[in-house]
Amino acid sequence: MNRSLRPLLATTLIFLFAYMLAVSQQPAMLSTRVLGNFLTDNAFLGIAAVGMTFVILSGGIDLSVGAVIGFTTVLVAVLIMWLQLHPLVAFAIALIVATAFGAVMGAAIHYLKVPSFIVTLAGMFLARGGASVLSPDSIGINHPFFSAVQKSYILLPGGGRLTVVGMIMLAVFAVAILLAHRTRFGSNVYALGGSETSAALMGVPVARTTISIYALSSFLAGLAGVVFSLYTSAGYSLNALGVELDAIAAVVIGGTLLTGGYGFVAGTFIGVMLQGLVQTYIVFDGTLSSWWTKIVVGVLLFMFILLQRLVFRAAPRRT
Amino acid sequence: MTAQQPVLEARGIDKVFGQHRALDTVDFAAHAGEVHALLGENGAGKSTLIKILTGAYQPDGGELLLEGQPIHLRDPLHGQTYGIGTVYQEVNLLPNRSVSENLFLGRQPTRFGMVDRKRIDAAAKDLLSRYGLNIDVRAELSEYSVAVQQIVAIARAVELSGKVLVLDEPTASLDRNEVQRLFDVVRGLKAKGLAIIFITHFLDQVFDLADRVTILRNGRKVATQALNTLNTTDVVRMMLGKDVAFDHHPTALTGGPKGAVRVQFQGLSRKGLSPFDLSVHEGEVVGVAGLLGSGRTEVARLMFGVDTSDGGQITVDGHPVTIRNPAQAVAAGFGFCPEDRKLDGIFGDLSVRENIIIALQAKLGWFKALNRDDQVELAGRYAEALDIRAANHDMPVKLLSGGNQQKVILARWLAIDPTFLILDEPTRGIDVGAHAEIVRTINRLREEGLALFVISSELDEVVAYSNRIVVMRDREMVAELDGDSIAPDAIVQAIAGTPPHETREARP
């Protein structure tokens, strides 16, 4: 078996096991309502984590994700409430701004040969600061389009609701899976994560690919911001604080090697769901502090890093 | 074969790095259907020449011709489009991707924008079967042995280029059977009319595979000759040759009473290196001769504890010592000037003074800091003793010339009052004047009673300062010469593995 499948398999098994455990404690958790809420509540995290998956697969890191989400919510709110633009126009503008922001970071990483950690850290401060300059206070969004979107959903058997934001996340995952595993761009991303020197010698357009990866990550962070504004009907500069770290955790728990080159987009989906599961369980239980989520995520993360070490250290050889 | 036009030709190539002339009007020509070996010691310029031929470097003078037409290569990718493919020692493929993706990356067939994996896998399987490789092409490349990876790399290079194939030390990490497997592939390509340039430091492989050989030394071409007119001794002589003349040391090192044994190694061994016994006496220089890859540097690293030994004993002045890391070696009074001075020897940004005192300070430990006056005094004393020419002792050592840097490292070890000094290629990359000076310094240290172990690929130099010479071949100490038997010719024969006055069949 392909050894990069092993962490993915482990994540899936742990998710199923944890879900069964949760259901045995709280039988009400076994319903499409809960599943629907899983998707809705974690949509912005899932979308941002998809972008993070590409970045980590290529051997980089993007710390600006949370800040870009926050910035986008503020920008969208400003465009709709102050400039009276239609939300769809506002979304388009916000996504273009976010994508350009990521492309500039990617260009800096490639051409200035600065580690992605540093460049995206700078990007994080810039985006967060920019959002506060736009508006230090939370801006509520009142628009018929928002209410309409928030009220539309597909009713699942069992009473669950698949909301628009949930659907957006599922669509993003579906497209991203094809992009990662079935296109030349996806191959190039894995190639960069395997060895940048080899990739360059093999004709991978390193500059273009690097810029595209960070542009994609910021685009998805922007989309996550749009979803976040739909989810909360507000724009606030301190929205999504630390979401980049949750995204990184989801990617790693999903079986992607933190040093790049190995992993699957689908794994990230399970990583996000696993985090959502812990949160939901805590809500159901009612007596636990929500900080237990962080503790469980920390333990899981540690376990997976250990697991990856074990899987990738002993390289099996054929002749 | 020389009558036809070469596929790839280099004419009068010059390459200068800073002050160092890496290549000096070198000519090289590779013909279709031949395997052309490129030989030379470290620093001879073969890797520079290869980088120019593949486009990684641009020459400062001379020109490249492909099938008679001048070409200018921007980078290896550009070289590839002209039909020049390269396979490196470190396989430059993607360990994390499947074999078929490694073969087709950058030119995957697509359907509706999606990569058509079935077609890739089928094409990859078909392609590799032509190289006698029937493997699961969907498996990760890193699951296969280096030999298989090399063949995959060759298949990719030939597929993309198809005129010239450069093999840069492809066999360095292969075992005997794997080498033969690789050679079969190369012979097949040769029969198809590719021009193959083969770089290695294994002479037997050159005789096994190559038709012609070009030998470089110190950035100049020594010869290009058909291999069936040569034997191993000729090749070794041309590689090591005579560049700098030294007077044989006046004290005439032959005979005379030796001092007491200072350092003794018994059965010291490590994986990939035959166990050896060696004792070095007070006031004695043991020289080491051997080609690159013969295991000479490995011996030095083992002695100094850079690599840990698998077995064997070390005694200093009759007392057994344990050396499992360099700190223990320093504690036992050993000093080591490594081969790559800039990388492993000097602390480029630290001053001359700091570079000199650092080993002594390390030996003293954390709590006995040398005060500044002592440091200045110490640095001054050794700088004078070794004639280190620096404007002042507070300037960064990286600004000094190679010869002076080497003397700073020597001073560093002399400061700890060593029992035993290991010098690995002490004169590499040093200009001729300083060269002779280092040799004089080694001789003086010996007269002062130090025990030294000196590795060099310059035969005349080894002869000039050694009391005894150990010859290494294939990671083994194969001969020991002393007294009157120390002479360049005798060393060449020992390295080539031929008894004197006999020539081996060129092609066994």
Over residues B446-461, the mean pLDDT reads 86
Q: Report the share of chain A in percent with pLDDT over 90.
A: 65
Which two tokens mark B57? 């470097």
**Best CA proximity match to A217, nearest among A87, A91, A75, A58:** A58
Tens of pLDDT, residues B476-495: 888 888 877 788 888 888 88
Scanning every residue of chain A, which has its alpha carbon at the shortest distance from the alpha carbon of B156?
A202
Compute φ and ψ for A140, nearest 5 degrees. Answer: -75, 140
pLDDT tier at A158 (50, 70, 90 boundaries)? Answer: confident
What is d(CA A70, CA A243) in angstroms, rounded to the nearest whole number?
A: 10
Rounded to whole angstroms, the Cα distance separating B299 from B453 reads 10
d(CA B340, CA B344): 6
Q: Are strands B20-30 and B451-455 parallel, antiparallel or unpaired?
A: unpaired
Chain A residues touching residue B140 (CB < 8 angstroms): 2-4
What lies within 8 Å, CB to CB, of B328 at 6+ separation is: B305, B321, B322
**A182 lies within 8 A of chain B by CB:** yes
Q: How confident is the model at residue B320 (pLDDT cuts 50, 70, 90)?
A: very high
Q: Which of A127-131, B74-78, B460-464 has the highest mean pLDDT?
A: A127-131
What ipTM goes with this model?
0.85
For the cut 70, the answer to whether the pLDDT of residue A319 exceeds it is no
Locate B111 and state its tokens.
């359907």
Q: Which domains does chain B have, with CATH numbers?
A: 8-96+140-230 (3.40.50.300), 261-333+418-496 (3.40.50.300), 352-417 (no CATH)
pLDDT band for B257, please (50, 70, 90 cuts).
low
Write the residue in B105, B136, B156 that is nearest to A187 by C-beta. Answer: B105
Disruptive mutation site among B89, B96, B103, B145 for chain A (greatest number of A CBs within 10 Å): B96
pTM: 0.78
Interface test with A, best of B105, B173, B181 (most A CBs within 10 A): B105
Closest CB to A201 among B92, B110, B113: B92
How confident is the model at residue B251, as a pLDDT?
45
Chain B residue numbers touching A195 (CB-CB < 8 A): 92, 94-95
- Span B358-375, mean pLDDT? 85
Domains of chain A: 5-312 (1.10.3470)
- Using a CB-CB cut-off of 8 Å, the residues of chain A touching B93 are 198, 202
Most confident of A233-247, B235-249, B403-417: A233-247
State the pLDDT at residue A6: 77
Q: Can you tell me the mean pLDDT for B122-139?
A: 91
Among A33-42, A246-255, B124-133, B366-375, the minimum mean pLDDT is found in: B366-375
- Residues A45-72 have pLDDT tens digits of 999 999 999 999 999 999 999 999 999 9
Q: Is it the case that residue B325 has pLDDT exceeding 80?
A: yes
Asked if B92 and A202 come within 8 Å (Cβ–Cβ), the reply is: yes
Task: Give the confidence band of A108 by pLDDT, cuts at 50, 70, 90.
Answer: very high
Query: Considering only CB atoms, which chain A residues are within 8 Å of B136?
Result: 318
Tell me which range, A106-115, B39-48, B361-370, B491-500, is most confidently predicted by mean pLDDT.
Answer: A106-115
